[in-house]
């Protein structure tokens, strides 16, 4: 990791590091066991946030997915051969919640802290909101459709004003498969990329992941989960009112009337950007349990004239029931003619003015192929480049100065590019890109309290061809007031830079380095 002069870096916690005493450190020859993994920091760090309780600082971290060949080093091609292997894979996923403290040697996790907790693919959670109890989420193990096991592929995150953690289920589809390879799957499942062949092979050892046994299990995943990270006995709650898609992060902001606005991207080529507005207002110290269960979901439409609007997803506009909208959200958004985007990743709200930013990471299909629902992906608006492999950041300002407004104006904050290779034309990038700050594939984005935008990348790190001079994945800082963008941190080879939060004294930034050299 490279940081500027005057800054230092150190490792806070790594995959396989025990969170409780008496647990063996990871065995690099085998990747450890299901038992050691259940009590250690998970794999592939992503979104995270710091919470406080009394004098304690508690870090919640997403463990997005796994490197099969690293975790199952003792298995050919990293393929599970038994139930114990699958259990180890499950235990490396989810969320690691750990107390951290700063001592003489810097920051470290607190072993055995009462706050330490692992949430995995098997942790019971409550399904809340419109979808709870619906026919489409009932399974043989849960005939009431209200209690779900686990969360996985947790990518970005969010924080609520009432101090809870939001973790976002992204590529949940790759965990399902079928023992019947000829099984015909419903179009609604195919829209989410669910196939009879899985990426991890869970279905061979756990019937819950076998589509021929339980066709409704996938409908119970792809949501945002709310967790009280300061209470290790709390039950995580899946918030179905926020829709079901490949959630990147959840950026929460309060309107001046106290209603809760959540901005959310669906990270897939040609999918959409969403907004949720709560029915009720947040009152400090009041009941917060209904704020993310009752409200209206919207999807963004961008016009070429730099205006746009939030389209409400309702039974009237979509021809679907409220419950179906929350389960088959992509289908609902297609029905209202939302704008197909270049893979919406994190959204970040500027604390100094009423505006929001979304990283559109890249989209090799732009202008060439429709999305999985058959919606066209024309070049134009906030997606101005055919076969876009550099990405851009779009921002919008609500027309009346409130995030609850339905109209907005928009522009591009930055169009990534390579001005060294392409001095002119669409691949040059915008004027605020130069030889010293070139990057591709913006992904994580967080505003700090001073209004600077931290931008992390998850892109091509070959440093060759179109990407020559862009180097490894990195973290940059942008000043929206001036447009200036500077590179701050460069990650090691092969990593993705993911997740960012700050210590309570704001002197330390915690940064995720995902799959270095893997």
Contact of 175 with 199, CB cutoff 8 Å = yes
> What's the closest the beta carbon of residue 177 comes to ligand FEO, in angstroms?
21
Q: Which residue's CB is nearer to Ca ion, number 206 or number 458?
A: 458
Identify the residue among 345, 388, 408, 473 touching ligand FEO (CB under 6 A).
345
Report the residue closest to Ca ion, judged by CB: 458
Token couple for 198 = 């899985």
> What's the closest the beta carbon of residue 360 comes to ligand FEO, in angstroms?
11
Q: Which residue's CB is nearer to ligand FEO, number 288 or number 365?
A: 365
Q: Which residue's CB is nearer to ligand FEO, number 26 or number 89?
A: 89
> What's the closest the beta carbon of residue 256 comes to Ca ion, in angstroms?
31
Contact partner at residue 170 from ligand FEO, Ca ion, none, CB < 5 to 8 Å by partner kind: ligand FEO
Contact of 311 with 261, CB cutoff 8 Å = no
Contact between 497 and ligand FEO (CB under 6 A)?
no
Contact partner at residue 427 from Ca ion, ligand FEO, none, CB < 5 to 8 Å by partner kind: none
Q: Which residue's CB is nearer to ligand FEO, number 203 or number 268?
A: 268
Identify the residue among 155, 331, 416, 495 touching ligand FEO (CB under 6 A).
155
> What's the closest the beta carbon of residue 155 comes to Ca ion, in angstroms?
5
Contact of 106 with 10, CB cutoff 8 Å = yes
Q: Which residue's CB is nearer to Ca ion, number 36 or number 362?
A: 362
Contact of 118 with 87, CB cutoff 8 Å = no
Contact of 215 with 103, CB cutoff 8 Å = no
Give the residue among 150, 152, 208 at the shortest CA–CA distance from 179.
Answer: 208
φ, ψ of residue 274 in degrees (nearest 5): -120, 160
**Alpha-carbon gap, residue 262 to 260, rounded angstroms:** 7
The Cα diameter of the chain in Å comes to 62
> What's the closest the beta carbon of residue 68 comes to Ca ion, in angstroms?
14
Q: Which residue's CB is nearer to Ca ion, number 155 or number 320?
A: 155
Contact partner at residue 271 from ligand FEO, Ca ion, none, CB < 5 to 8 Å by partner kind: none
> What's the closest the beta carbon of residue 70 comes to ligand FEO, in angstroms?
18
Please enumerate in sequence order all residues whose Cβ is within 8 A of that of 488, keeping only pairs 6 or more positions apart, or say none.
3, 4, 454, 474, 475, 476, 477
Q: Which residue's CB is nearer to Ca ion, number 99 or number 251?
A: 251
- Other residues' Cβ atoms within 10 Å of the Cβ of residue 186: 12
> What's the closest the beta carbon of residue 64 comes to ligand FEO, in angstroms?
6
Q: Under rule CB under 6 A, how many of the chain's residues touch ligand FEO?
A: 7
> What's the closest the beta carbon of residue 157 comes to Ca ion, in angstroms?
10
Please give the residues from 429 up to 448 whose contact with ligand FEO meets the rule CB under 6 A.
Answer: 443
Q: Which residue's CB is nearer to Ca ion, number 310 or number 447?
A: 447
Quick check: helix, strand or coil at residue 207? helix
Contact between 267 and ligand FEO (CB under 6 A)?
yes
Q: Which residue's CB is nearer to ligand FEO, number 169 or number 323?
A: 169
**Alpha-carbon gap, residue 183 to 174, rounded angstroms:** 16
> What's the closest the beta carbon of residue 249 comes to Ca ion, in angstroms?
8
Identify the residue among 99, 170, 324, 342 touching ligand FEO (CB under 6 A).
170
Quick check: helix, strand or coil at residue 316? helix
> What's the closest the beta carbon of residue 473 comes to ligand FEO, in angstroms?
12
Identify the residue among 206, 210, 248, 355 touching ligand FEO (CB under 6 A).
248
**Alpha-carbon gap, residue 404 to 116, rounded angstroms:** 37
Contact of 125 with 236, CB cutoff 8 Å = yes
Please give the residues from 40 up to 99 whose contact with ligand FEO meets the rule CB under 6 A.
Answer: 64
389-423 burial: b if 16+ Cβ within 10 Å, else e? bbbbbbbbbbeeeebbbeebebebbbbbbbbeeee
Contact between 224 and ligand FEO (CB under 6 A)?
no
Q: Which residue's CB is nearer to ligand FEO, number 120 or number 362?
A: 362
Q: How far is CA 133 from the centre of its chain?
A: 26
Q: Which residues bind Ca ion (CB under 5 A)?
A: 155, 443, 458, 496
Question: Interface mask (CB under 6 A) for ligand FEO, residues 106-145, using x and -?
Answer: ----------------------------------------
> What's the closest the beta carbon of residue 63 comes to ligand FEO, in angstroms?
12
DSSP code of residue 185: P
**Alpha-carbon gap, residue 108 to 230, rounded angstroms:** 18
Q: Which residue's CB is nearer to Ca ion, number 301 or number 343?
A: 343
CA dihedral (371, 377, 381, 386) positive or negative: positive
- The length of the chain is 518
Q: Is 404 left (phi over 0), alpha (psi -120 to 50) or beta?
A: alpha
**Alpha-carbon gap, residue 82 to 388, rounded angstroms:** 42
Q: Which residues bind ligand FEO (CB under 6 A)?
A: 64, 155, 170, 248, 267, 345, 443
């Amino acid at each position: 990791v490279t940081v500027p002069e005057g800054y230092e870096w150190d490792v806070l916690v790594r995959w396989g590091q025990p969170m409780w005493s008496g647990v063996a450190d990871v065995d690099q020859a085998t990747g450890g066991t299901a038992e050691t993994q259940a009590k250690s920091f998970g794999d592939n760090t992503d979104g995270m946030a710091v919470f406080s309780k009394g004098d304690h600082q508690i870090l919640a971290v997403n463990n997005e997915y796994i490197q099969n060949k690293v975790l199952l080093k003792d298995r050919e091609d990293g393929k599970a051969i038994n139930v114990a292997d699958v259990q180890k894979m499950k235990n490396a996923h989810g969320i690691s919640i750990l107390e951290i403290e700063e001592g003489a040697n810097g920051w470290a996790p607190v072993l055995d802290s009462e706050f330490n907790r692992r949430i995995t693919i098997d942790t019971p959670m409550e399904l809340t909101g419109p979808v709870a109890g619906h026919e489409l989420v009932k399974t043989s193990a849960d005939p009431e459709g209200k209690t779900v096991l686990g969360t996985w592929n947790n990518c970005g995150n969010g924080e609520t004003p009432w101090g809870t953690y939001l973790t976002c289920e992204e590529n949940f589809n790759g965990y399902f498969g079928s023992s019947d390879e000829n099984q015909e799957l419903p179009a609604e499942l195919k829209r989410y990329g669910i196939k009879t062949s899985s990426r991890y092979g869970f279905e061979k050892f756990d019937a819950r992941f076998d589509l021929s046994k339980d066709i409704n299990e996938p409908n119970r995943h792809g949501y945002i989960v709310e967790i009280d990270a300061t209470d290790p006995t709390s039950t995580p709650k899946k918030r179905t009112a926020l829709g079901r898609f490949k959630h990147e992060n959840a950026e929460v902001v309060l309107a001046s009337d106290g209603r809760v606005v959540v901005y959310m991207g669906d990270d897939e080529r040609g999918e959409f950007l969403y907004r949720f507005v709560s029915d009720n207002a947040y009152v400090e110290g009041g009941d917060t349990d209904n704020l993310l269960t009752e409200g209206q979901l919207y999807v963004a439409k961008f016009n070429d004239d730099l205006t746009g609007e939030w389209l409400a997803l309702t039974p009237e506009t979509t021809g679907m029931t409220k419950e179906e909208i929350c389960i088959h959200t992509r289908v609902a958004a297609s029905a209202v003619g939302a704008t197909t985007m270049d893979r919406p990743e994190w959204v970040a709200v500027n604390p100094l003015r009423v505006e929001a930013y979304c990283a559109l990471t890249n989209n090799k299909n732009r202008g060439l192929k429709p999305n999985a629902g058959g919606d066209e992906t024309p070049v134009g608006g906030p997606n101005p480049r055919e076969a876009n492999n550099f990405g851009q950041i779009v921002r919008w300002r609500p027309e009346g100065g409130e995030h609850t407004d339905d109209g907005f104006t928009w522009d591009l904050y930055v169009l990534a590019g390579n001005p060294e290779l392409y001095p002119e034309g669409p691949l040059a990038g915008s004027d605020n890109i130069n030889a010293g700050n070139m990057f591709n594939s913006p992904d994580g984005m967080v505003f700090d309290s001073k209004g600077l935008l931290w931008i992390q990348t998850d892109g091509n790190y070959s440093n060759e061809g179109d990407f020559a001079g862009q180097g490894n994945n990195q973290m940059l800082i942008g000043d929206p007031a001036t447009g200036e963008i500077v590179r701050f941190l460069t990650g090691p080879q092969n990593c993705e830079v993911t997740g960012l939060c700050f210590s309570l004294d704001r002197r330390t930034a915690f940064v995720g380095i995902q799959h270095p050299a893997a």
